[in-house]
Amino acid sequence: MLITIAIIIDLLIILFSLKYAWWYPKANMKKTRIMMYHMISDQLTKGKKSGLRVSPEMFEKQLKYFKENGWKFIKMSELKNHENENKVVAITFDDGYLDNYSQALPLLKKYGACATLYLVIDRHQNDWSVKKNPKHNTGVLADEEKLSDNHIKEMLDSGIFELGGHTITHPYLPNTSIEDKKYEMIECKNILETTFNTKVSSFAYPFGIYNAEDVEIIETSNYESAVTTDEGVANTNTPYELKRIKASGKDNFFAFKLRVQKGFRGFI
């Protein structure tokens, strides 16, 4: 009986260690933490828990943590100016959900923070997740309310947000011709700059999927940086393949802190 309990406890410790990798060393504190968010929203009452939805309470707790622990908030266009500085964090949002205006903006303001929004141009009623996986056809993404151009203007005028490119239609790049890729990646920058009278210098690969050809298109199109969904701290020596730290709606606060320190959460 006692042996069984001891084995169970050991297994739980191993599981906990693999899940959180608490013993793994901290990443260099002089490497910028580029945080990746999508929605600041409570979980839906139906269906599985989504990593894309970080609750407003958790988001506030995270901003408070950065502020109280001496982290400096920057926008992606400022990345180069803060290379090799201690405790620098860039908050990023992908796609353009309405809650980035209704929930995130007031909280960012409250904590003196700023953020970069990688905005999809054709975002309304666009269920891009089916392009990657036809089974993702629940309609939840299409129905999720997106930002209007007026919301975005207000977010930019506040000085808290800047825009980054995230293509026109959020294509699945492996299925996209080189001509269409170029159009999606280059023209989205032109459209954002013209529509919002602003400068766009950073890009996020849709679904975080990219290859050498995609990197070359971005590198030769007047972008200064590009972010992926690969997990880790930012290495500015490869500015067109920057890793990000996933802010997941499935994480507790302990997991969030581990991600910030190490660049990732654990091995399972």
Can you give the binding site for Zn ion, defined by CB under 5 A?
Answer: 94-95
| Pick from 217, 236, 192: nearest CA to 79 | 236
What is the nearest approach in angstroms of Zn ion to the Cβ of residue 129? 9
**Would you say 245 and 260 are in contact if contact means Cβ atoms under 8 Å apart?**
yes
Q: Give the residue with the Cβ less far from Zn ion, 88 or 188.
A: 188
3-state helix, strand, coil split of the chain in percent (to 5) is: 40, 15, 40
Neighbours of 88 (CB within 10 A): 22
Q: Give the residue with the Cβ less far from Zn ion, 94 or 184.
A: 94
Q: Give the residue with the Cβ less far from Zn ion, 95 or 184.
A: 95
Q: Give the residue with the Cβ less far from Zn ion, 217 or 227.
A: 227
What is the nearest approach in angstroms of Zn ion to the Cβ of residue 157? 24
Q: Give the residue with the Cβ less far from Zn ion, 27 or 191.
A: 191
Residue 193: phi and psi, rounded to 5, are -65, -40
Residue nearest to Zn ion (CB): 94
**Helix 253-262 / helix 56-68 crossing angle, nearest 10 deg:** 50
What is the nearest approach in angstroms of Zn ion to the Cβ of residue 111? 25
What is the nearest approach in angstroms of Zn ion to the Cβ of residue 229? 9
Q: Give the residue with the Cβ less far from Zn ion, 221 or 229.
A: 229
Burial classification of residue 174, based on how many CB atoms lie within 10 Å of its CB (0-12 exposed, 13-18 middle, 19 or more buried): exposed
Q: How far apart are CA 153 and CA 31, in angstroms?
A: 31
What is the nearest approach in angstroms of Zn ion to the Cβ of residue 118? 7
**Would you say 171 and 207 are in contact if contact means Cβ atoms under 8 Å apart?**
no
**Would you say 116 and 75 are in contact if contact means Cβ atoms under 8 Å apart?**
yes
What is the nearest approach in angstroms of Zn ion to the Cβ of residue 206? 5
